[in-house]
Every structure is written in structure tokens, then in C-alpha cells.
Amino acid sequence: MQKASEAMTLGFSVQKLDNDSNYLSSSDIQNFCQLESEQLTSQYPIFFVRIVYHDCLLKNHQEVIHYAQDQAPFSPKTLAYLRSETWLTDFPPAFTLNEFRLSGFSSISYLCPIAYRNQKPEYIQIITHEPLSKSLQLYVKRSAILLSKYVDIYLNYGRQKTEIQLLEDILHRVGHQLRNSLGLIGLYAHNLCLGLEDNPWQEQATIIGESIQDLDTNLNELIDCGQSAKLRVTFQDLRSLVVESITNLQPLINQKKVKIFIPDTSTTLKIDRLQMKQVFDNILSNAVHFSPNSGTITCSWQIFQDEVLIKISDQGPGLSKEDLQKVFTPFYSQRRGGTGLGLTIAKKIVLDHQGSIWAQVLSERGAQFSVILPRPRSGN
């Protein structure tokens, strides 16, 4: 899998976000385009650069313009002509440099498309005093590739932000609905306990009340999970966290005689321990549930410089095409008695940690869930 943080270097690079940083904003991508346009206009004979891109958060196309030093700005009429794109009579492939003739211009105009999204092109347009050398043509193409990578990262974060907002709304709605019911049950349990004083059934009524309090605590954690600002991140050992989740599932593991293999190696992550444990609890619980008796569950991880890839696979019946499309959808479950919220919550937590999670079907048999989480940089 190609890392989202990879980028070609042209005197600057796409900086991967830290584990605890905010999502990219519209000003981030605009500043990036501004920096790139300044880099291009510093190369003679380029004296004008115009970058057009689609902002997925603002949901429209944006423009960045930059002139070379000592170059007089174009008139509003000229800029209106460039923005009209009436000169754009052909739509060449992305990352190819193409010369376009502009009406009323004696200078040379080039266009390097970045992508075609939302029925409009995204591109770098440059105007030069003379034809570009081959090395400068390559420079422009590489600039377009770099910008495309940045836009893709920005688009990915935009989608994640939308997904997180949706999941937050669902968790809050479900949480508050359940809280009302639990409050009513707790009240009846309390009244029942008072009415059964010196009665043998009072102990069971007390247990019901205590169970309601436990459920209310878990519900509060569920609602807190819908608020990424409440992440309490600390340095945690990955292997120890997975072992703890396995230990909690030991009764079911013993009942089904399932074997679970995990690596001897480990790494340190900067995460919210309770929430990330819930991710492993949900994935491993599903793996054990769907595993055949005496089946095998394999946990593995690959440690990279800035991230760790965690895989958990089982030998169960696998996932259908519908499962793959809906497995993280709220209330979708193939488990009898399942709420359909476990994997939804897991995805929300992973996204809050600026990671990613996905499911796939193994070629032989079973399902595999993969999680990518950022690793703290040295010195952090």
C-alpha cells in the first residue's frame, strides 16, 4: 500500500500531520499552492502562474495567482478571459505539458492538468517569455504531480472529516436515546430496591441497579468517543494493549479452542489507551465469534518510520461484497444479537487518531481487518 505521506521533493515537501494535530484546512492547501506558484515564477522565463484546484471542504474551485518579480499584474479583463477558459479547447491527459494559444497574447502559454474532478479541470497554467527548456518542462510536470499528491491528501482528510461528523451525530443520537431508557430502568430498580427491604429479592434488585450504573458509565464512554477533542493520548505499548484485549476475551477463546498468534516485537504509539483498546476488543471479538472451533487468529504488524500497519485475520466464513461495503455502517451486523455499532465505533476512534481502517477477504478463507496508526516521531 502506498503511504499517503509520500511526496516528491522540489525544495519543499508535503509534511505529514502529527498524531495530535488538526485536520488540514482550506488555508493550508491555498498556502501550499501559493508556495508552489512562487517556486515556479522564480524560474526564468516563467512570469505568470495560475493554479486552479477543487476545494473539497468549500465544495468549489479555487484559484491562486502569482507573478514574477517586476512583472506588472494583468488587467481585470485579461484575468476574466483566463478564468473563462474559452481558450481551453482540448482536455489533455494529466501531468502532460501542453501549449495553448491565448487571444491577444504574444507570450507563450502552457497548461499542465492535475486532474478532472466535478466536471471541471484542475491545472497549473503558466505564461512565459520564451519556450521552456526540457528541464523546466520536467520541473513543471513534477510540480503538478506534487500538487496532485497534496490535493489527494487534502481530499482524503476532507472525506474523513465528513465521516467523523456523521459518526459523531449517530453516536450522540443513539447515546442520548439509550440514556433516557437506562435512566427510567435505573429509577424503577431503585424504587424496587427500597420496596424490597428485608426481602431476599432485594439483592437481585441491587444488582440490577449496579448493572444500570455500569451501562451508564459505558454509555458515557460511547458518547465521549464521538468527541475527538476528548482524546487522552499517552504513550502506550502496542503488544501489551493487544494482549490485554485477548485476555478479556479468554473465556470465549477457551470455549471455542481458538489459537491466537501475535508477534514478539512491539512499538510505542501515542494513543488514547481506553479508546484504542476498544478498537482491538471489537475486531478481536468479531474474529473469535466468526472463527470455527479450533481455528486460528493471526495478529501481525509492520513497523515503518512514521506509522504502523496492524493486521488481524481469522479463518471464518469471510465477508460478502455487501459486507465489505457496509461493515463499518452503523447498525449493520451479521452477528446474532449484535448492535452493529462495534466496527462503526472502531472506525470513528481510528479516524480520530488520524489513522485508517479497512476490511478485506482473504484469498483462502476468512476476513482480515487492517489498521494504520501514526507512530510518534523521535523527540515527541
Q: What is the pLDDT of residue 267?
A: 93
CA atoms of 251 and 263, how far apart (whole Å)? 22
Task: Give pLDDT tens digits for 293-340.
Answer: 999 999 999 999 889 999 999 998 888 888 888 888 777 777 776 667
Q: What is the pLDDT of residue 156?
A: 72
pLDDT at residue 257 greater than cutoff 60 = yes
Q: What grid cell was written down for 139?
A: 520541473
Q: What grid cell was written down for 331?
A: 447498525
Helix-helix angle 134-195:26-41, to 10 degrees: 170
pLDDT at residue 378 greater than cutoff 70 = no
pLDDT at residue 159 greater than cutoff 80 = no
Task: Give pLDDT tens digits for 342-361.
Answer: 788 888 889 888 899 999 99
Pairing of strands 356-361, 307-313: unpaired
pLDDT at residue 264 greater than cutoff 70 = yes
Least confident interval from 53-67, 143-157, 203-217, 325-339: 325-339
Mean pLDDT of the 16-23 span: 37
pLDDT at residue 13 greater than cutoff 60 = no
Higher-pLDDT residue of 13 and 194 is: 194
Percent of the chain at pLDDT exceeding 70? 85
* Residue 71: C-alpha distances to residues 41, 47, 99, 121, 125 (Å): 10, 7, 21, 27, 16
Percent of the chain at pLDDT exceeding 90? 43
How confident is residue 10, by pLDDT bands cut at 50, 70 and 90? very low
Computed over every residue of the chain, the mean pLDDT equals 83
How confident is residue 109, by pLDDT bands cut at 50, 70 and 90? very high
